[in-house]
Structure 1
């Protein structure tokens, strides 16, 4: 993955295949069906990552996966406001918000901010060595600049990169990928149009180097074979995304030493 602006986006797809329901013409059951952005069913969007996007923050990262654009700022560790509540481990606060122009309908995503913030917290908490900063707090502020589909997985991956950029001790980076079920087919890293007509979705966040899942979220009705297939797709893509994220950090570190 690129660590500098202007570098070519990287891809991290697993591999290809080929639906049905009362959907618009683009969502048909024939083998000639093409995804809105032309990708294969098992092909992730080109991804661009860059660290050090916000100078005033302890660490930051910018992520662009297709039309989904996210920026994350990290502040801390700093003394907890609730200093009277002693804790042997640090606190993690996560906040996700959308710009007013992020979605086609102004303010459309604001009602979901609290839930997305909670899911971001759950995904990151297990990867951070909280005992390395007792009695202090790390704040994670994610801003979705443009919503193009798969917002939460992009936010999670970007936040993980920003935490690493801030020097927060972690067991591993956190990579997140989701799959949508559209009729009989699974499409990885769906865009907004596909999410609007999906029968269900499955998202995995994991520590790619350790092959550990930190969160599994499933919506809709899934058969057991479909769940297994979707999980394999997500885990494979997470592994490849993790390599791209580490490459971004290495390039960033090399650039700062020059």
Structure 2
């Protein structure tokens, strides 16, 4: 039976900050608007996970955050064609692609090389590569529907799929992003918010070890703003990881204690 987070989406918003956040976003041009789904600035979308989504894979997971829907399949470890180059440690291969119906622009489905590279970077530090020498683990992520914050959802889902496959890891990997809209930081942005953002910050970490595996920042950010964004994301990642652990079947045997 596939494991899932209680059968219903679970919330994982970070702890409230001292400053009261409102749904109303004040833009620099004084145009007032609210988040399209009515959330507070620091309120994440409900997260739903399910493991064992692809029977033919060694491990798999499905994730649904609002309108963002992702499925990840893990294959291997299998004998690597580059075994001589990777004699002491295993090799991780990541691929992120979009279905042709994932976005409003029909027929735009394709491989996403930048996301594939970023997924590899986010996961590599958490996997115990020495546990499968001379072999390769393939991670295939497919975005079924693009609803915003696609890459963080892909990364979190891929981590869960790896654990489902029994791949040895130091810890699960959780990822959350924030968008800078005027003077406000908005967590887990949807597509519309991403299209209006002045900048974005995506943080990926191993919550139990409090280690960041990837930090990506776009736009102009002040140091205090970066620190605030990172803290918001770290807090949310810790709570997201709790939901992910609940989804796993049985004890976390694939995770190093």
How high is the TM-score relative to the length of structure 1? 0.90
CA distance in 2, matches of 1:50, 1:92: 23
TM-superposed deviation, 1:224: 1.1
Structure 1 residues 108 and 219, CA gap change in structure 2 (3 angstroms): farther
CA distance in 1, matches of 2:41, 2:136: 41
CA distance in 2, matches of 1:203, 1:5: 24
Q: How many residues are matched? A: 243
The counterpart of 1:28, out of the listed 31, 41, 54, is 31
CA distance in 2, matches of 1:190, 1:109: 22
TM-superposed deviation, 1:233: 0.4
Name the counterpart of 2:64. Answer: 64
Give a deviation string over 1:26-65, Cα, whole Å, max 9, x none: x934xxx420011111000001000000000000000000
SS at match of 2:34: coil
Residue segments in structure 1 that go unaligned for 5+ positions in a row = none
Q: Is the 8 A contact 2:3 2:52 kept in 1?
A: no
The counterpart of 1:17, out of the listed 2, 11, 21, is 21
Name the counterpart of 1:185. Answer: 184
Runs (4+) of structure 1 exceeding 6 A deviation are none
SS at match of 1:204: strand
SS at match of 1:141: strand
TM-superposed deviation, 1:81: 1.7
CA distance in 2, matches of 1:115, 1:129: 24
Alignment of 1:93 onto 2:97: no
Name the counterpart of 2:254. Answer: none
SS at match of 2:62: strand
Give a deviation string over 1:110-149, Cα, whole Å, max 9, x none: 37x0000000000000000000100000000000000000
CA distance in 1, matches of 2:110, 2:31: 32
More helix by share: 1
Name the counterpart of 2:167. Answer: 168
Give a deviation string over 1:66-92, Cα, whole Å, max 9, x none: 100000000000000223435200000
Name the counterpart of 2:52. Answer: 52
SS at match of 1:36: coil
RMSD: 1.8
TM-superposed deviation, 1:225: 1.1
Structure 1 residues 44 and 5, CA gap change in structure 2 (3 angstroms): closer
Name the counterpart of 1:82. Answer: 82
CA distance in 1, matches of 2:70, 2:236: 19
